[in-house]
Amino acid sequence: MKEHLYHNGHIHCGGGQDCSALWVRDGRVFRTGNEELCAEAAGVPATDLHGACVVPGFNDSHLHLLDVGRGLGAIDLFGAASPADMAARCADFIRRRNIPAGRPLYGNGWNQDKFAGDPVLPTRADLDALVPDHPLLLDRVCGHIMVCNTAALKAAGITAETPVPEGGGIDLGPDGQPNGLLRDNAIPLVRAILPEESLEDIKAAFVAACARAVSRGLTTVQTCDIRSRDWPLVIQALRELDDAGLLPLRLVLQCALDTPEDLRAFLDAGIQNGRMWKVGPLKLFLDGSLGARTAWLRRDYADEPGQRGLCCLSYDKALTMARMADAAGMQVVAHAIGDAAVEEMLDVIQALSPDGSNPHRHGVVHCQITTRDQWDRFAALHAGALVQPVFLDYDHTIVTARCGADLAATSYAFGTAVRLGIPVSYGTDAPVEDLDPVRNFYCAVTRRPLAGGDPWQPEECVTRAQALACYTEGGACNEFAEAEKGKLLPGYLADFAVLDGDPLTLPEERLLKMQVLATVVGGQEVYTASGTQA
Lowest mean pLDDT among 68-72, 237-241, 273-277: 68-72
Does 533 have pLDDT greater than 50? no
Q: Which one, of 372, 364, 309, 375, lies nearest residue 331 by Cα?
A: 364
Q: What percent of the chain has pLDDT over 90?
A: 97
pLDDT recorded at residue 100: 93
Residue 6, amino acid? Y
Span 241-263, average pLDDT:
98
pLDDT band at 22 (very low <50, low <70, confident <90, very high): very high
Sheet with strand 384-387: strands edge to edge: 58-63, 218-227, 250-256, 277-285, 332-336, 363-366, 384-387, 424-426
- Residue 492 DSSP code: S
pLDDT of residue 5: 97
What are the two backbone dihedrals, phi and then psi, of residue 396, each rounded to the nearest 5 degrees?
-65, -20
CA distance 126 to 96: 21
**How far is residue 163 CA from its own chain's centroid?**
31
Output 111-118 pairs: Cβ under 8 A, ≥24 positions apart.
111/80, 111/140, 111/141, 111/291, 111/394, 112/140, 112/291, 113/291, 113/394, 113/397, 113/398, 114/79, 114/80, 114/81, 114/394, 115/80, 115/81, 115/82, 115/83, 116/81, 116/82, 117/82
Collapsed DSSP state (helix, strand, coil) of residue 249: coil
Average pLDDT of the residues in 63-88: 95
Q: For residue 532, is pLDDT > 60?
A: no
CA 125 to CA 487: how far, in whole Å?
A: 53
The pLDDT tens digits for 104-144 are: 999 999 999 999 988 899 999 999 999 999 999 999 999 99
Q: Which pLDDT does position 329 carry in this prediction?
A: 97
- Identical fold, 3-57+492-528 and 79-140+144-191: no
Q: Give me the pLDDT at residue 289, please.
A: 96
**Pairing outcome for strands 3-7 and 28-33:** unpaired
Encode burial over 9-48: b for 16+ CB neighbours within 10 A, e otherwise.
bbbbbbeeeebbbbbbbeebbbbbbeeebbeebeebebbe
For the segment 190-209, the average pLDDT, to the nearest whole number, is: 96
Question: What gap in Å lies between CA 113 and CA 292, rounded to an integer?
Answer: 10
Q: What is the rounded average pLDDT for all residues in the chain? A: 96
Q: For 301-354, write each residue's pLDDT tens digit.
A: 999 999 999 999 999 999 999 999 999 999 999 999 999 999 999 999 999 999
Domain boundaries, the chain: 3-57+492-528, 79-140+144-191
Query: What's the pLDDT at 118?
Result: 83
CATH 3.30.300.30 for the 3-57+492-528 domain, yes or no: no
Q: By the 8 A CB rule, do 307 and 300 touch? A: yes
What's the CATH number of domain 79-140+144-191, 3.30.310.50, 3.10.310.70, 3.40.50.2300, 3.40.50.20?
3.10.310.70
The mean pLDDT of 81-97, rounded to a whole number, is: 96
User: 530 falls in which pLDDT band (50, 70, 90)?
Assistant: confident
